[in-house]
Structure 1
Amino acid sequence: MTRAVIFDLDGTLIDSAPDIHAAANRLMERHGMAPFTPPETRDFVGKGVPHFIGCCLKARDRDGDAGLHAQLVAEFVAGYETAVTLTQVYPGVAAALADLSRMGHRLAICTNKPLAPARAVLAHLGLDAHFAVVIGGDSLDLRKPDPAPLHAAARALGARDVLFVGDSEVDAETAARARLPFALYTQGYRKAPVEALPHTRAFDHFDALPGIVADLLP
């Protein structure tokens, strides 16, 4: 039986918050709005680009302008594919992915980041070869925390024994709704305390992940 580990991307495998912050501020400057601090844009991350732009506009008292929202979503997505230069891989990720592959697990990405930017940043960071399947925020009509994207990734891998790895409230809810075990990376973008998020295991460095996987997917 195929065993699989499915990962969130932003805040889990990669720290993309600096690139997202820079892209948001370029957009704000272009439209005559005040810039954001890094913690502000980091708090907006997790539910896809339309939600992110909605948070930006709400913070600038412009959330009632549907036309502006649509325009900014389109502009942000257009520049998102090249927003990779400030993004870094979290420590231990590359070694953990290699170990999991050697252990016989198939690997996938399930992210709310649009598919093209997700693939672009994986390729830029040299991580793309590890993943047989990438499900983005625009791959289906639904996004996390709906469990449909996670189920789609598992189906695409042909896997029934699945562990989901993520960093946030959205990821924890997605795993719970999908009824799958969840490993919480504690150094990502969550806002709530670790104990407030439902999880099977928690870890603060990717050195620990292969052992967690071995325990949960023997």
Structure 2
Amino acid sequence: MTPIVFDLDGTLIDSAPDIHAAAAKMQEEAGLEPLDLGRIRSFIGNGVPALVERVMEAHALPRDPGRHGALTERFLAHYDAAPAELTRPYPHVPDMLDALAAAGHPLGLCTNKPAGPSRAILAALGLERFFAAVIGGDSLPLRKPDPMPLCAAFAALGGRGLYVGDSEVDAATAEAAGIPFLLFTGGYRKTPVGQLRHEAAFGDFSALPGLVHSLRKAA
């Protein structure tokens, strides 16, 4: 069966509320007015260091590696303490994963979120049992959109297959790796669907098992 690798934030789960809460605490400690949820959501996708850098830019803070490192450390401390209080799977995600696993598809995860919080969230939401491979943003020297993490996830599953994600970063990663990409339209994407390379797009996870089956038959 076809191996399938998923992105996490904005794809399988809506994690923005917990990320926003950790970012708000980080900003308050630094004497900064916390940015709203929508602004923080727009910063998600390239990993924690990039998110913190964008927060600094939003506050017009000078580029200072030392301050960036300190803020990143404080964000991670807050986020690691409560990564799944407000985070929820998108509708139909557990049933979709059940269906794909029952059909024999090996499943993996490739995210720019650090591996520790990623595994903690999967465990808290009862989703960890589905994934034979979890590649986080700190698992390898490079993050998405470099193809290295996605290729590593497929290698762990025993072969190449399909990648499911929600964002510009995911589309670019799939293209760089030469992997067919399925775009979930309900996540954190900012670019119009038609401007992203994808084999198929969907807005409801209950449709994904049928879509995977159709793509396999057409291949």
Same fold (TM over 0.5): yes
**SS of the counterpart of 1:26?**
helix
Q: Distance in 2 between matches of 1:164 and 1:217?
A: 13
The residue aligned with 1:101 is 101
Aligned pair 1:136/2:136, yes or no? yes
Q: Distance in 1 between matches of 2:120 and 2:44?
A: 18
Q: Is the 8 A contact 2:165 2:182 kept in 1?
A: yes
The residue aligned with 1:41 is 40
Cα-to-partner distance string for 1:133-167 (whole Å, 9 max, x where unaligned): 1000000010000010000000011123x100000
Q: Distance in 2 between matches of 1:42 and 1:146?
A: 22
Letter in structure 1 aligned against 2:163: F
The residue aligned with 2:148 is 148
The residue aligned with 1:87 is 87
Displacement of 1:176 in angstroms is 0.7
Displacement of 1:92 in angstroms is 0.6
Structure-1-length-normalised TM-score:
0.97
Structure 1: gaps spanning 5 or more residues:
none
The residue aligned with 1:195 is 194
Aligned pair 1:172/2:165, yes or no? no
Aligned pair 1:113/2:88, yes or no? no
The alignment of Structure 1 onto Structure 2 pairs a total of residues equal to 216
Root-mean-square deviation over aligned CA pairs? 0.9
**SS of the counterpart of 1:165?**
strand
Displacement of 1:64 in angstroms is 1.4
Q: Distance in 2 between matches of 1:83 and 1:207?
A: 26
Q: Is the 8 A contact 1:54 1:63 kept in 2?
A: no
Structure 2: gaps spanning 5 or more residues:
none
The residue aligned with 1:9 is 8
Displacement of 1:208 in angstroms is 0.6
Residues 51/63 of structure 1: CA separation in 2 closer, same or farther (3 Å cut): farther
**SS of the counterpart of 2:3?**
strand
Displacement of 1:61 in angstroms is 1.1
Percent identity of equivalent pairs: 53
Letter in structure 2 aligned against 1:157: L
Give the 5 Å matches for 1:199-218. Answer: 199-218=198-217
Q: Distance in 1 between matches of 2:115 and 2:156?
A: 15
**SS of the counterpart of 1:18?**
helix
Structure-2-length-normalised TM-score:
0.96
Q: Is the 8 A contact 1:143 1:149 kept in 2?
A: yes
Displacement of 1:3 in angstroms is 2.0
Displacement of 1:74 in angstroms is 1.3
Q: Distance in 1 between matches of 2:174 and 2:126?
A: 27
Q: Distance in 2 between matches of 1:156 and 1:63?
A: 41
The residue aligned with 2:27 is 28
